[in-house]
Structure 1
Amino acid sequence: MIEEAATAPAARRSPSLAYKPLVLVALGLVYIVWGSTYFGIKVAIESLPPLGMLGVRFLLAGAILYGFLRLRGVPNPTREEWRSSAIVGALLLLGGTGFVTLAERDVSSSVAAMVIAVSPLFASLFARLFGERTTGREWLGIAVGLLGIVLLNLGDLRATPLGAFLLILAPLCWTFGSMWSRRLTLPKGLMGSAAEMLTGGALILALSVLFREQWHAPTTASLVALAYLVVFGSIVAYSAYLYLLENTRPAVATSYAYVNPVVAVILGVGFGGEALTSLGWAALAVIIGGVVLVMWPRRR
C-alpha cells in the first residue's frame, strides 16, 4: 500500500457514497492481519520479553522496508520528517502496540482485542479537536460498540488493574497519534511506514534495555510468531493503515477495532485454548453491529 502525503488537500479526503477498491483492500488487510496479531503477540511473548520482542519486530520491519525503498531510489527523509516520524512512532508503536503487548501478559488475546474497540470513540473525539466532523450515525455506531465493551467488562475482562489500565491507555495513544499524523510533515509513501517503525522500534528497544528485560532461548513458536508480526503485522498491515488514514474518514480508518476482535476470538478460542462466556459472545455480537453503522458510507 502507498501512503499519500500527510499534507494532502482536504478535497482528496472528501467522503463519497462508495469506497475505492484500494481502500477496500487496505481495510481487508487491516481487519484480518491485525486481528491475528493479538494472538501472534501472545505466542511471541511466551518466550520473548514484551518490549524487546516489539522493538526487534519494528526495527526489522522498518529496516527491510527502508532498505528496499532506498534501493529503488526513494529519497531519504528530511530532518523534519524524521522528527515527525519519531513522534508518530512513539505514540502508535510504543504507546499503542507497546501497551497492548504489556497488557497481554495478564489478559487473553481475544479480550485485549475486544477492549481496543474503544479506538473509534477516541478517534472521533480527537477528530473534532482537529476540526473534523463526526456524523450522528457514526456516534450511534460508536455507542453500540461501547455497549459491547460494557458487556465484556461484565463477563470476560479479568485482568490486573495495571493490565486493564494499559488496555485503555493504548487506544488513547494510538488514536491521538493517528489524528496528529494527518497534520505533521511525514515522508511520502511507504517511506513513512519505514521511518516510523525505525524510530519507534529504536525507542522501544531502548526502553527494553533500560528496564533490563531478560532474554532467554526463544521457542520455535515464538520465532515464527515474531516473523509473522514483522512481515504481515508491520510491513503489510501498518502500511495499509497509514493509507487509510489519508484516504478515509477517521471512523472508517479505525473501524478495524470492531472487526479485529472477531478474528482474535476465532484464533484465541480455536488455537490458543482461550474461552469466552455467553456474555462475552453477546458482547462480540454487539461490537460487530457497531461496525455496520460506522462503516456505512456518508452522503455528500
Structure 2
Amino acid sequence: MSAPASQTPAFAKEIALLAVLATLWGASYTFIKIGVETIPPITFIAARTLIAGGLLLAIIKMRGLWLPRDPAIWKRFLIQACINSVIPFTLIAWAELTVDAGLATILNSTTPIFAFLLTVLITRHEAVTGRKVFGVAAGIVGISLIIGLEAFDGLGKELISQLAIVVATISYACAAIFGRGFKGLDPMIPAAGSLICGAVLLIPVSLVFDQPWTITPSADSILALLGLSVFSTALAFVIYFRLIHTLGSVSTTSQAYLRVPIGVGIGILFLGETLASTAWFGLIFVIAGVAAMTLPSRKKAAATA
C-alpha cells in the first residue's frame, strides 16, 4: 500500500514552498517600509515593477515561452497592471510612510474577503455559504478594531494611510476577479506582462514628479528594493505559479492567512514595531476571517482527495 499523498516527500516539499511563499510576501511590507524611508513611493514602485517584470520576462524566455503580440491581450495586461500593481503597490508604499509594516500586513490580508464581496455583488460566480459570511463578518470586525478607534479622533494622517491600504486591498480583489480572464495563458505570462505595463505607466510619472536623479537613497533602501523585487515579487510569483499547479488554487490561497503572523513577526523582529491591544484582537479576527474564506470545506477536500 502506498503512503498517503500528504505523507510523501514531494507533498512535504510543496508545503515547505508554501511556507516560503508566505514568508516572502509577509516580508514585502518590511522591505517597503525600509525602502520608502529614502526612496519616494512612486519611484520605489516603478523600480520594483521594472526589476521584477524584467526577471520574469527572462524566466519566461528561459522556459521557451514568448509574450503574446495580440493588442487586445496587452490591453487586458494594462488593465491588470493598474489594479494589481500600479494602484495597490503605490498606495501601500505611500501608506507605509506612516503605517507600520505589521498593520499593513494585517489590513492587506483581507483581499479574499473583498474578492468574495465583489463576486457576490457583481459577477456572482461564488456560492454564498454560512462560513463565507462568517469570514466576511470577522474580517470587517478585524479591520474595525485596527482602525476604528482612530476614526473617533478625526481623520488623521495615519487613518488616511490605513484606509489607503484598504483601498489597495479592494484593488487586489478586483485584480483577482479580472485575472480569471487569462485562463488560456501560462500564468507567468500575464504576471510578467502586467508588471511590464506597470513599469511603463509608473516610470514617466516618477521622472516628472520625483526626478529620481536627484534622490540619494540609503544602502538599506536599495537593498530593500532589490529584496522586494527579486524575492518578494519575481521569486514569489515563480513559487506561486508552481503551487497553483501542484497544490491547486484553493490550497495555495492559504498563504493569505499564513503570511499575516509572519509579516507581523518580521516587522516586530527587524523594525521593532508593536501593535496596540485592539490591533492584536483585530489580527485574530482577520486571520479567522481569511481562513474561513480560503480553507476548503471537508466535503470539498474529500471530493478532491
* CA deviation vs aligned residue, 1:87-107 (integer Å, no higher than 9, x gap): 111111012222111111121
CA contact (8 A) 1:120 1:255 kept: no
Q: Which runs of 5+ in 2 are unaligned?
A: 1-5, 301-305
Bigger helix fraction: 2
| Residue of structure 2 equivalent to 1:62 | 53
Residue 177 of structure 2 aligns to which amino acid in structure 1?
M
Q: 2:127 aligns with which of 125, 133, 156?
A: 133
Q: Could you say if the C-alpha distance between residues 72 and 148 of structure 1 is closer, same or farther in structure 2, counting changes exceeding 3 Å? A: closer
Q: 2:86 aligns with which of 81, 94, 114?
A: 94
Q: Taking structure 1 as the reference length, what is the TM-score of the superposition? A: 0.81
Q: Distance in 1 between matches of 2:201 and 2:14?
A: 31
| Residue of structure 2 equivalent to 1:194 | 192
1:67-216 to 2 correspondence within 5 Å?
67-79=58-70, 80-128=72-120, 129-130=122-123, 131-154=125-148, 159-184=157-182, 187-214=185-212, 215-216=214-215
CA contact (8 A) 2:48 2:225 kept: yes
Whether 2:215 is the aligned partner of 1:223: answer no
Q: CA RMSD in A?
A: 2.8
1:234 is paired with a residue of what secondary structure?
A: helix
* Structure 1 residue 206 displacement after superposition: 2.3
Q: Could you say if the C-alpha distance between residues 222 and 127 of structure 1 is closer, same or farther in structure 2, counting changes exceeding 3 Å? A: same
Residue 270 of structure 1 aligns to which amino acid in structure 2?
L
2:110 is paired with a residue of what secondary structure?
A: helix
Q: Distance in 2 between matches of 1:179 and 1:96?
A: 15
Residue 218 of structure 2 aligns to which amino acid in structure 1?
T
Q: Could you say if the C-alpha distance between residues 248 and 189 of structure 1 is closer, same or farther in structure 2, counting changes exceeding 3 Å? A: closer
CA contact (8 A) 1:118 1:171 kept: yes
Identity level (%): 25
Q: Which runs of 5+ in 1 are unaligned?
A: 1-17
Question: After the TM superposition, which of the residue ranges 99-108 and 76-85 deviates more from structure 2?
Answer: 76-85
CA contact (8 A) 1:117 1:257 kept: yes
Question: After the TM superposition, which of the residue ranges 209-218 and 161-170 deviates more from structure 2?
Answer: 209-218
Q: Could you say if the C-alpha distance between residues 189 and 180 of structure 1 is closer, same or farther in structure 2, counting changes exceeding 3 Å? A: closer
Count, aligned residues: 280
Residue 29 of structure 2 aligns to which amino acid in structure 1?
Y
Q: Taking structure 2 as the reference length, what is the TM-score of the superposition? A: 0.80
Q: Could you say if the C-alpha distance between residues 56 and 115 of structure 1 is closer, same or farther in structure 2, counting changes exceeding 3 Å? A: same
1:297 is paired with a residue of what secondary structure?
A: coil
Whether 2:263 is the aligned partner of 1:264: answer yes
CA contact (8 A) 2:107 2:169 kept: no
Residue 47 of structure 1 aligns to which amino acid in structure 2?
T
| Residue of structure 1 equivalent to 2:36 | 45
* Structure 1 residue 71 displacement after superposition: 4.1
Q: Distance in 1 between matches of 2:183 and 2:211?
A: 34
* Structure 1 residue 30 displacement after superposition: 3.8
CA contact (8 A) 1:35 1:113 kept: yes
| Residue of structure 2 equivalent to 1:248 | 249
| Residue of structure 1 equivalent to 2:303 | none
Report which of the two structures shows the higher radius of gyration computed on alpha carbons.
Answer: 2
